Amino acid sequence: MPAAGRAPDAPGERVISTVLDPAVLTPLVVHTEAWINFDVGLLIDRFWANTINGLAYGSIYALVALGYTLVYGVLQLINFAHSEIFVIGVFGVYLTFLGLGFEPGALPNLPLAAIILDLLLAGVVAMVVAGLAAVGLERVAYRPLRRRNAPRLAFLITAIGASFAIQQVIRIVRGSNPEGTIRLLPPSPAFTVFGAPVTNLQIVIILASIAMFIVADQFVNRSRLGRGIRAVAQDPATATLMGVNRERVIMITFLVGGVLAGAAALFYLMTIPQGAVYNGGFLLGIKAFTAAVLGGIGNLRGALLGGLILGVAENYGQSLFGGDWRDVVAFVLLVLVLMFRPTGILGESLARSRA
Amino acid sequence: MTTMLELDDVHVAYGRIQALRGISLRVEVGQIVALIGANGAGKTTTMKAISGILGLQSGSMRFEGEDLTAIRADLRVGKGISQVPEGRGIFPGMTVAENIDMGAYLRSDRRSPEFAADLERVYELFPRLAERRSQAGGTLSGGEQQMLAMGRALMARPRLLLLDEPSMGLAPQFIAQIFRVIEEINAQGTTVLLVEQNATQALGLAHEAYVMETGEVTRSGTGAELLADPTIQDAYLGVS
Ligand SMILES: Nc1ncnc2c1ncn2[C@@H]1O[C@H](COP(=O)(O)OP(=O)(O)OP(=O)(O)O)[C@@H](O)[C@H]1O
Ligand SMILES: [Mg+2]
């Protein structure tokens, strides 16, 4: 915020004056929104639209949050480079679009079935690429530290370093500017909920994300390998006594997290087609991590819940307080929840709960 | 008699703390072998070395003639060595049934009649577990957790069962039950290496026994010999 004084008779106007320069002592009146609103009317007007849009955004947060939470459960490590795994997924989607012959800026003129097929293909590529990248990251960055029994702090610093390193590699390869906008499927209202339009994109993203969550949840809770993941999270030494190969479990955990981030990347680029940029994971990563902590880090169901709550709350906050407050709302929410429930909403971690 | 497990001059250290200074012991097939000693003598360390949680500095371990040190820790259960760790090692967030199932993690015969029979046997040995099948392991009482840990270890169909203080923190009637179960398991053909603070009961049960002090074996003999030895009685059996 620039230093601003508000004319008392003109709410909604911001007065910017540069005190040091006598030439511009005449106040410059800029017509703009108040720096903070409290617009209950807008909140109520846009309630359903915000809810639906928030759920769609929140699904993307949730899918990325699962990656943070899974790795945390098994290694008690906050994998800061997970946001860059997501970005790798975004570029996987974008480059697949380019490879399929789509041009930035132009709307494709293809039958719907062909477009859906192309989107699916891009999604699969992103999931594979992000999954492999996550496994590679684990091999290169974290496994050598584990071998040497390095202290916790070394892992954390390595995670941050890996995050920067991947970002810079992407920047060197693809440049600093955002890639062009490729939109395969423009959003169009599919139906309305209480008068609020729900677009085809929103409905696909919400349903597909929940389906992926259910698959991941069932995998962790029902499958043999999933049980191995939970065993390592709850008691690594005893897990070894049972015959669980910890290194393999760690690899699978990174793989699953990466694959989910790849799926999130497809949904992200469908929603924000101009979003392919080397540092595009920063804010989304923080939000997804916030979602994981909000729901209770280490807890799969917490990641889903945290993601959805965060997505929706952000939208409500944006209507209530004004656009600049969107991101602030997310973090204030986090602080509030942690003040009253330090272990997050669902609390227990993968280490203690069944999820 | 054939030897199932043989440790020769085993050294283990935690950083600069030398916990085992040349342990040698043998476990014959079909026996119950007891390992007794004061707190900090190195009994748990010995168990962890056998199950592979800790690596050796030097010395050798052979299991059924095979060099055990060459086998990765997580594969040793597949070789037939199953451990009930000190402190029980229950997975707190898993149900009783899931914990028991973890004991069979490496088994691929889940649908076979043998598997069903093993499961039935565990619930027969510990009927309390059957009642609590879907309760979270972390909410069981100490005694129930001990039963769960033993039941879980049996699901691996071990030929050698390592028990580290199975009676720790239990009420006398539970202790008696645990010892009965150990005898029963042994009678059904499982070899047992037993670490115990309840030295009288352990020696009464054991075919062979070893006494450890500060990382070394200081005495060995049959259970009956050690029970009758006045110095052992003074130091470990609480009779004088
Ligand atoms: N993780 C560790 N780090 C450092 N020292 C350890 C560690 N674990 C055990 N020790 C030390 O090794 C020695 C042997 O410990 P161990 O646990 O094997 O004893 P124990 O015979 O099982 O004792 P208890 O009857 O109390 O269970 C002790 O002096 C102990 O302090
Ligand atoms: Mg001990």
Instruction: State the Cα–Cα distance between residues A135 and A39, nearest whole angstrom.
Output: 46
What is the distance in angstroms between the Cα of B152 and the nearest Cα belonging to chain A?
A: 9
A296 Cβ contact partners less than 8 Å away, ≥ 6 residues apart: A302, A306, A343, A344, A345, A346, A347, A348, A349
User: What are the distances in angstroms from CA A232 to CA A110, A225, A249?
Assistant: 48, 11, 8
User: Would you say the CB of residue B41 lies under 6 angstroms from ligand 1?
Assistant: yes
Q: How many helices (H) and strands (E) does chain A have?
A: 13, 4
Assess if residue B46 is contained within a domain. yes
Residue of B nearest to A348 (CA): B93
Instruction: State the Cα–Cα distance between residues A91 and A88, nearest whole angstrom.
Output: 5
CB distance B82–A237 less than 8 Å?
no
Flag whether pLDDT at A25 surpasses 50: no
Distance from residue B196's CA to the centre of ligand 2 (Å): 9
Q: B94: which chain A residues are within 8 Å (Cβ-Cβ)?
A: 227, 230-231, 234, 354
User: Would you say the CB of residue B47 lies under 6 angstroms from ligand 1?
Assistant: no
Give strand ranges (E) for chain A: 13-16, 28-31, 189-193, 196-199
User: Would you say the CB of residue B70 lies under 6 angstroms from ligand 1?
Assistant: no
Mean pLDDT, rounded, for A148-163: 95
**And the tokens for A19?**
């005190």
Q: B50: which chain A residues are within 8 Å (Cβ-Cβ)?
A: none
Sign of dihedral through CA atoms A316, A317, A319, A320? positive
User: Would you say the CB of residue B108 lies under 6 angstroms from ligand 1?
Assistant: no
Helix (H, G, I), strand (E, B) or coil at B82: strand
Distance from residue B39's CA to the centre of ligand 2 (Å): 7
Q: What is the DSSP letter of A107?
A: P
What is the distance in angstroms between the Cα of A276 and the nearest Cα belonging to chain B?
A: 40
Is any Cβ of chain B less than 8 angstroms from the Cβ of A241? yes
Mean pLDDT, rounded, for A83-90: 98
Q: How many helices (H) and strands (E) does chain B have?
A: 10, 10
Q: Report the CATH number at residue B64.
A: 3.40.50.300
**Which of A218, A271, A300, A261 is closest to A84 using CA atoms?**
A261
With cut-offs at 50, 70 and 90, classify the pLDDT of residue A322.
confident
> Which range (A61-70, A83-92, A135-144, B167-176) has the least confidence?
B167-176
Q: How many CA atoms lie within 13 A of A352 on its CB side?
A: 10
Mean pLDDT, rounded, for A272-286: 94
Assess if residue B146 is contained within a domain. no
Query: What letter represents residue B86's amino acid?
Result: E
Q: How many domains does chain B have?
A: 1
Angle at A311 (CA atoms; ends A308, A315), nearest 5 degrees: 140
A17 Cβ contact partners less than 8 Å away, ≥ 6 residues apart: A5, A24, A25, A27, A28
Report pLDDT digits (tens) over A333-342.
Answer: 888 988 888 8
Assess if residue B173 is contained within a domain. yes
**And the tokens for A323?**
């656009």
Q: What is the DSSP letter of A106?
A: P
Q: B86: which chain A residues are within 8 Å (Cβ-Cβ)?
A: none
Q: What is the largest CA-CA distance in chain B?
A: 55
Is any Cβ of chain B less than 8 angstroms from the Cβ of A245? yes
Closest residue by Cα to atom 24, ligand 1, is B39
pTM over 0.95: no
CB distance B93–A354 less than 8 Å?
yes
> Judging by DSSP bridges, how do beta strands B58-63 and B66-67 pair with one another?
antiparallel
Distance from residue B47's CA to the centre of ligand 1 (Å): 11
Instruction: State the Cα–Cα distance between residues A163 and A64, nearest whole angstrom.
Output: 15
Residue A271 neighbours by CB distance under 10 Å: 18
Assess if residue B181 is contained within a domain. yes
Assess if residue B175 is contained within a domain. yes
Assess if residue B118 is contained within a domain. no
The residue with greater pLDDT, B170 or A158, is A158
Res A51: pLDDT: 94
User: Would you say the CB of residue B54 lies under 6 angstroms from ligand 1?
Assistant: no
Scanning the structure block, which residue is given the tokens 């807008």?
Answer: A42
Position in ligand 1 atom list of the atom nearest CA B38: 25
Distance from residue B84's CA to the centre of ligand 1 (Å): 17
With cut-offs at 50, 70 and 90, classify the pLDDT of residue A354.
very low
Flag whether pLDDT at A344 surpasses 90: no
Q: What is the largest CA-CA distance in chain A?
A: 78
B65 Cβ contact partners less than 8 Å away, ≥ 6 residues apart: none
Res A351: pLDDT: 53
| Residue to mutate, B11, B18, B39, B44, ligand 1, most ligand atoms under 8 Å from C-beta | B44
Instruction: State the Cα–Cα distance between residues A353 and A230, nearest whole angstrom.
Output: 9
Mean pLDDT, rounded, for A251-274: 97
What is the distance in angstroms between the Cα of A335 and the nearest Cα belonging to chain B?
A: 27
Assess if residue B140 is contained within a domain. no
Q: What is the DSSP letter of A264?
A: H
Closest residue by Cα to atom 4, ligand 1, is B14
Instruction: State the Cα–Cα distance between residues B131 and B109, nearest whole angstrom.
Output: 25
Which DSSP string do the residues of A175-222 spell out, in sequence order? -SSPPPP--SS---EEEEETTEEEEHHHHHHHHHHHHHHHHHHHHHHH
Scanning the structure block, which residue is given the tokens 């129930």?
Answer: B144
With cut-offs at 50, 70 and 90, classify the pLDDT of residue A27.
very low
Res B1: pLDDT: 66
Report pLDDT digits (tens) over A32-80.
Answer: 556 788 888 888 888 999 999 999 999 999 999 999 999 999 999 999 9
Res B117: pLDDT: 96
| Domain interval for residue B164 | 3-92+157-237
| Residue to mutate, B12, B17, B210, ligand 1, most ligand atoms under 8 Å from C-beta | B17
**And the tokens for B92?**
């707190």
User: Would you say the CB of residue B45 lies under 6 angstroms from ligand 1?
Assistant: yes
Helix (H, G, I), strand (E, B) or coil at A152: helix
Res A338: pLDDT: 82
> What share of residues in chain A are helix, strand, coil (percent, to 5)?
65, 5, 30
Closest residue by Cα to atom 27, ligand 1, is B39
**Which of A277, A248, A84, A44 is closest to A165 using CA atoms?**
A84
B180 Cβ contact partners less than 8 Å away, ≥ 6 residues apart: none
- Residue B8 pairs in a beta bridge with B60
CB distance B91–A231 less than 8 Å?
yes
ipTM: 0.94
Is any Cβ of chain A less than 8 angstroms from the Cβ of B186? no
User: Would you say the CB of residue B40 lies under 6 angstroms from ligand 1?
Assistant: yes
Question: Closest partner residue to A240 among B73, B91, B92, by Cβ?
Answer: B73
**And the tokens for B226?**
């050690």
Is A142 buried (19+), middle (13-18) or exposed (0-12) by CB count in 10 A?
buried
**And the tokens for B126?**
């510990």
Is any Cβ of chain B less than 8 angstroms from the Cβ of A230? yes
| Residue to mutate, B43, B57, B194, ligand 1, most ligand atoms under 8 Å from C-beta | B43
User: Would you say the CB of residue B198 lies under 6 angstroms from ligand 1?
Assistant: no
Res A348: pLDDT: 58
Closest residue by Cα to atom 3, ligand 1, is B14
Which DSSP string do the residues of B12-41 spell out, in sequence order? EEETTEEEEEEEEEEEETT-EEEEEE-TTS
Query: What letter represents residue A199's amino acid?
Result: T
For residue A278, the Cα-to-chain-centroid distance in whole angstroms is 15
Sign of dihedral through CA atoms A21, A26, A31, A34? positive
Q: B85: which chain A residues are within 8 Å (Cβ-Cβ)?
A: 237-238, 241
Assess if residue B100 is contained within a domain. no
Domains annotated on chain A, with CATH: 2-25+34-340 (1.10.3470)
Query: What letter represents residue A123's amino acid?
Result: G
Q: What is the DSSP letter of A27?
A: P
**pLDDT, averaged in runs of 10, over chain B (240 residues):** 93 95 96 95 97 96 96 96 96 95 95 95 94 95 93 96 92 88 94 94 94 95 92 74
